[in-house]
Amino acid sequence: MADPMSKIKTVAIKSAALKALALPARILFPPVCAGCRRHVSQPGVLCGACWPKLRLLERPWCAVMGTPFTHDMGEGFLSAEAIADPPPFDRARAAVVYSGVARQMVQGLKYQDRTDLAPWMARWMLRAGAELIAEADVVVPVPLHWRRFFRRQFNQSAELARAVAHLSGLPFSPSAIRRVKLTRQQVGLERQEREENVRAAFRVPTEAQIEIAGRRVLLIDDVYTTGATVRAVAKALKRGGAGAVDVLTFARVLPGDFRADESATI
C-alpha cells in the first residue's frame, strides 16, 4: 500500500516548485490594482482605496432587465422598462454599475489594451449571471466589424466571453454572429440614434447557424448602456435560429444615468 505521507510530500514539493518558478515573474511584474494600478498582494484584486468605489449589482432586481430595485417587490416583479418596451432577449444581468473604478476597468480593457483584466472581470460576471450560465448552451460575444477589429487587434467583448466560457465550461462561439455593417461609435448618440445606428448591423452566417440552432445563447458585452446593441444582436440571433438569448455584461448604465453628451459614457 502506498505511503500517504509520501504523496503529501510530493504534492508539497510540486507546489513549492511552482511558487519558486513564479517568483521571478512576480518580482519583475508585480500585481497591480485592477482599478488604479497600485501594487497589490495578488493579480486581479482591487486595492483598499478602489474597492469601496465599486458598486456591485445585487438582488432584488427586475427578473427580465436585471435593474436593481430599492426594496424587494416580490418574485418575478418586472420594472417599468421591461413592461413598456419588452426586449428581444429573455434576461439581462450585469456585475457592476458603470461608474468609478468599473468605468476605469472597462475603458482600460477597451482603449488601453488591458486584456489582462478580462479574466478578473469575468469572475464578477459569473457571480451576477449564475442563473443564466446554469441554463446556457453556448457563449457568444457581441462582434466587432472586421475593419474595426483590424485597427484594434482585439474585441473586448470576445475577451470577456472567452474568459466566461473558460470559467464556466461552456462552449465559446466567437463566429456565431457577424457585424455586417460598419456602424458609427455609439458614444455621443441619443437613444433613438443608437437604435438606428445598429439596425440590421448583425447577421448569423449560414455556416454558423448549426452552432446556435435551437440553443440558449449567452450573449456577452462589456457595458449595457441603452441596450440598443444587444437588442439588435439578440434579434439577429433569433432570426438565425437561436432558441433563446440571455445577455450578460460586466457593467450597466442604470436607467436615469444615461447621458448621450457625456464623453466617458460608452
What is the pTM for the complete model shown?
0.83
Tell me, what's the pLDDT at 130?
97
> Are the CB atoms for 261 and 193 separated by under 8 Å?
no
Residues 68, 74, 77, 81, CA torsion sign: negative
pLDDT means over runs of 10, the chain (266 residues): 51 49 51 81 82 90 93 84 95 96 92 90 96 98 88 91 98 96 75 83 95 98 95 97 98 77 48
Tell me, what's the pLDDT at 137?
98
Tell me, what's the pLDDT at 264?
46
41-44: long-range pairs with CB below 8 Å, 24+ = 43/116, 43/120, 44/117, 44/119, 44/120, 44/123
Tell me, what's the pLDDT at 41?
79
pLDDT tens by residue, 168-227:
999 999 999 999 988 767 766 777 888 887 888 899 999 999 999 999 999 999 999 999
Going by C-alpha positions, the residue among 145, 251, 262, 248 that lies closest to residue 201 is 145
Q: Which amino acid is at 262?
A: E
Tell me, what's the pLDDT at 261?
54
